[in-house]
Structure 1
């Protein structure tokens, strides 16, 4: 459980719930009451329901579980709230778990792949290597667009290259077997060290185990 409701004014706690290791519990089969409580109280505290499901939606007669799951988001938060509950028949208790998960976004930086792309092996270079193959350029654009937006600090990297894609200059920071960072006027993105990216751009890259 990665979030404690008592520490958040906008996450109410169902009456009777008590901390029990990595969960909250209350005596008896109360998961439907817990479900009704959070479906009412979380929206009242500004939360918007993203996903939900419960045993009431399960038509399989062989499944005898009782419980629900739900995912919520709120404006101003860069994480989503997960609330789930189930009835433990052996302990005769209703369990409730609260978790939070980071919301990962990938902002589109480049709407359309240009006819040419310039690759600077070093960001400080005055001359570049031109790529004119549209399919290759499109693959590079897709990799950059699908990379996750990054709001944390970037680790120091030994290599600093640059791509010029249309009017957008993109600094590329990388190091063997570590995250690749893209920096531009649009912000910062992070990508796992995809070998395809280095194959398409021709930037020098060697794995640490080579």
Structure 2
């Protein structure tokens, strides 16, 4: 995916967040040509885009916690809008107006890579994965199973983060990054949130 280089208005958050692009390895950071491109922020509205509410809420909470640890103020989108509600332009703008956020940070999954290995001492054991998406990774049918089966997992996530200025309603910074491998979904979410905080801090976007 090519980094976004032009100024984007805040209402485009909804469109950008729902797009799924091509993954890249490593980390790519981009400063926009916005007048706020060199600004640092103190109060963040945190938005995570995920396929299910539990994952989104966990990510938003972890990112909020990380930002607060760096001295910033932050609130998760799911808390601001009152639970499991879809990302909507009107709700984002209303939240900025009500709570006085000076920045909106949006993180979305671009690609996931999962390696798994099933081990068993039983000859002829049949393992059939049920149909389903990423959250159904642990749903398997086992036939002729007489002894325990060991399931080894390695998961890696490529994600994109966009930081918007609430004052100018424009994109000021964006990044694409592939995180370290994790052994379960919860660990993957936590690692992603920690990585976003590190990147924002390194880019000088968190005011001290």
TM-score, scaled to structure 2: 0.28
Structure showing greater radius of gyration is 1
- In terms of fraction of residues, the more helix-rich structure is 2
TM-score, scaled to structure 1: 0.28
Kindly indicate whether structure 1 or structure 2 has the higher relative contact order, using CA contacts under 8 Å at least 6 residues apart.
2
